C-alpha cells in the first residue's frame, strides 16, 4: 500500500486527523488532505489519487460540484462522506459521479475496510484474464478495459469507476439475466441491503451514454421482475 495515493477532502480538521491517523496505522502512507473543493481539484490533478473521500459540505463549493469537476480529470473511485443522508442527497451524489456514500458519524475502520476492498477489486480487475479480445467493440460503443476508456461513436465519454465496472461486467456476460442484487454484489463487492436503486441509477446513466435510443434500449434490456440483460455482439464475431 506504499504506492497507494489517497485524497481526503473535509473542512473539519478533526475528521481529517482521525482518518489520517487510522489509515497510517493500517499501512497507508501517501495520504493527501484538502479542506476546500478548489484545493481538492488541484491535488487530484497533481497526484492522481487511487481513492477519494469527499465531504458534501465544503466552505467554497458543494461537494457535488467538486465531484463533477473531479470526474473530468479522474476515473478513480469517489466516496462521499457526509451527514446529508436523504435518498435525494444520495441520488444527487451518484448522478454527479460518486461511487459510494458513507454516512456520518462513521467508524473509521469501516472506511478503511471499504478502501481496501475497493483497491482489491481494482487490482483483480487489472490482473484478471479476459475471455474477450481488447477492446470490446460493439459498433455503437467501444470499451477499453485496461485503460478505463469508453468511446461512443468514436468520441471518448467520461464515466465513473462504478459505471465502467458495471458496463464491463455486463459486456463480459452477454445474454445472461442478472438481478439488481447480483449486480450490486459483483460491482460494489458487498450485499445490497436495500441499495438496489443504486444499480438502477447507474444503469440509467450508462444507457444515456451508450444507447442510440434511451427509450428503447438496444444493449441493456430490462427483464421485468428479474433484472437486466446485456444484448450485444462484438464487431467481427457475427
Residues 222 and 228: beta-carbon distance below 8 Å: yes
The pLDDT score that the predictor gives to residue 39 is 97
* CA neighbor of 198 nearest in space, from 142, 146, 144, 160: 160
- Of the CATH numbers 3.40.50.800, 1.10.10.10, 3.50.50.60, 1.10.3720.10, which one belongs to the domain with range 136-230? 1.10.10.10
**Cα separation, 164 vs 28, whole angstroms:** 26
**Cα separation, 139 vs 231, whole angstroms:** 13
Residue 28 clears pLDDT 60, i.e. is over it: yes
pLDDT digits (tens, 9 = 90+) for 80-108: 998 887 888 888 888 888 888 898 889 99
pLDDT digits (tens, 9 = 90+) for 215-237: 999 999 999 989 999 998 887 65
Superfamily of domain 5-127: Response regulator (3.40.50.2300)
The pLDDT score that the predictor gives to residue 129 is 43
- What is the average pLDDT value for the chain, to the nearest integer? 88
* CA neighbor of 193 nearest in space, from 103, 67, 75: 103
Domain ranges (residues) in the chain: 5-127, 136-230
**Cα separation, 53 vs 190, whole angstroms:** 19
Least confident of 30-44, 115-129, 205-219: 115-129
Amino acid at each position: 500500500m506504499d504506492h497507494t495515493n489517497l485524497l481526503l477532502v473535509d473542512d473539519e480538521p478533526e475528521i481529517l486527523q482521525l482518518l489520517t491517523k487510522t489509515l497510517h496505522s493500517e499501512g497507508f502512507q501517501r495520504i493527501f488532505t484538502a479542506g476546500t473543493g478548489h484545493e481538492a481539484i488541484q491535488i487530484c490533478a497533481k497526484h492522481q489519487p487511487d481513492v477519494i473521500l469527499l465531504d458534501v459540505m465544503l466552505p467554497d463549493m458543494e461537494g457535488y460540484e467538486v465531484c463533477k469537476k473531479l470526474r473530468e480529470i479522474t476515473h478513480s473511485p469517489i466516496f462521499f462522506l457526509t451527514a446529508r443522508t436523504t435518498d435525494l442527497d444520495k441520488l444527487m451524489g451518484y448522478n454527479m459521479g460518486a461511487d459510494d456514500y458513507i454516512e456520518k458519524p462513521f467508524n473509521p475502520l469501516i472506511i478503511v475496510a471499504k478502501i481496501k476492498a475497493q483497491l482489491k477489486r481494482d487490482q483483480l480487475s487489472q490482473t484478471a484474464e479476459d475471455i474477450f479480445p481488447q477492446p470490446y467493440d460493439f459498433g455503437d460503443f467501444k470499451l477499453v478495459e485496461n485503460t478505463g476508456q469508453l468511446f461512443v461513436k468514436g468520441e471518448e465519454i467520461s464515466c465513473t469507476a462504478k459505471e465502467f465496472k458495471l458496463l464491463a461486467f455486463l459486456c463480459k456476460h452477454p445474454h445472461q439475466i442478472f438481478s439488481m442484487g447480483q449486480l450490486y454484489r459483483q460491482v460494489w463487492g458487498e450485499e445490497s441491503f436495500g441499495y438496489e436503486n443504486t444499480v438502477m441509477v447507474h444503469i440509467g446513466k450508462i444507457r444515456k451514454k451508450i444507447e442510440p435510443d434511451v427509450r428503447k434500449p438496444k444493449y441493456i434490456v430490462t427483464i421485468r421482475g428479474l433484472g437486466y440483460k446485456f444484448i450485444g455482439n462484438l464487431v467481427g464475431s457475427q
